[in-house]
Amino acid sequence: MLTYQNDKKFKKEMVSEMVWHRKQDNLIKGTYAKNGKFCAVGCGVESLNRRKGLEIKHDDHAAYAKALGIPEWLARLEDTLFENLPSEESKEFPVKFLRAIPVGVDLEPVKWRFCAFILKENIERVLALKDISEDLKKQVVDAIRGCLALHEQAVKSGNWDESAAESAAWSARSAAWSARSAAYSRYAKELLRLLRSAK
């Protein structure tokens, strides 16, 4: 699948459409379409329907992604980021998003790079935690590093290793279980303390 169907004119049209939506103050959060206003994906779908004579539902991420030549996960990520950005930034994001997508490329490898970015941030967050044991912290960080290595290898090789992904998933689940158990243990102790001190 190639972005913008490998058509520079198509990209220019879609960016122009999104600029128009932004200028018309057509971008809204919380719904795909309401009273002629739309979310980021909804505006994109509205433009595709108008420009290409399509009949895509405003909440159909898969059809929107296919029409743009992008992976569905990316359409869903655009939607999530738009909905959660501060208001002023969210109004600019759909235009910047469409402009940032190059013409005629496969964007699937971007997922591995983006996930690696998030995993690195998560390692930093876990290492900064004060209220968990060093053993648990090490187990969680090791699991995250395993997932990070998997994504970095995919970036280098251009291929996703399903077997390594399953192994990393098991390690991550084990670390999550340990972290959850430790959290419940803390919660139970605190509840008991509060109950004993109730008057």
pLDDT in tens, 165-184: 898 889 888 888 888 888 88
pLDDT of residue 16: 96
Q: What is the mean pLDDT of residues 159-169?
A: 89
Could you tell me the pLDDT band of residue 164, with boundaries at 50, 70 and 90? confident
Could you tell me the pLDDT band of residue 132, with boundaries at 50, 70 and 90? confident
pLDDT tens readout for residues 25-76:
999 999 999 998 999 999 999 999 998 999 999 999 999 999 999 999 999 9
**Which residue carries 């520079």 as its tokens?**
8
Nearest to 99 by CA among 29, 3, 23, 2: 3
Amino acid type, 78: E
Q: Is the pLDDT of residue 97 over 90?
A: yes
| H or E segment and range at residue 139 | helix 134-157
Radius of gyration of the chain (CA): 22
pLDDT of residue 76: 96
pLDDT of residue 184: 87
pLDDT of residue 84: 95
Check if the beta carbon of residue 46 is closer than 8 Å to that of residue 31: no
Residues 6+ apart with CB under 8 A from 120: 148
Q: What is the pTM of this model?
A: 0.83
| H or E segment and range at residue 4 | none
| H or E segment and range at residue 30 | none
Q: How far apart are CA 4 and CA 11, in angstroms?
A: 6
Q: What is the mean pLDDT of residues 153-161?
A: 92
pLDDT of residue 180: 87
Could you tell me the pLDDT band of residue 198, with boundaries at 50, 70 and 90? confident
Mean pLDDT lowest for which of 48-52, 112-116, 126-130, 172-176?
Answer: 172-176
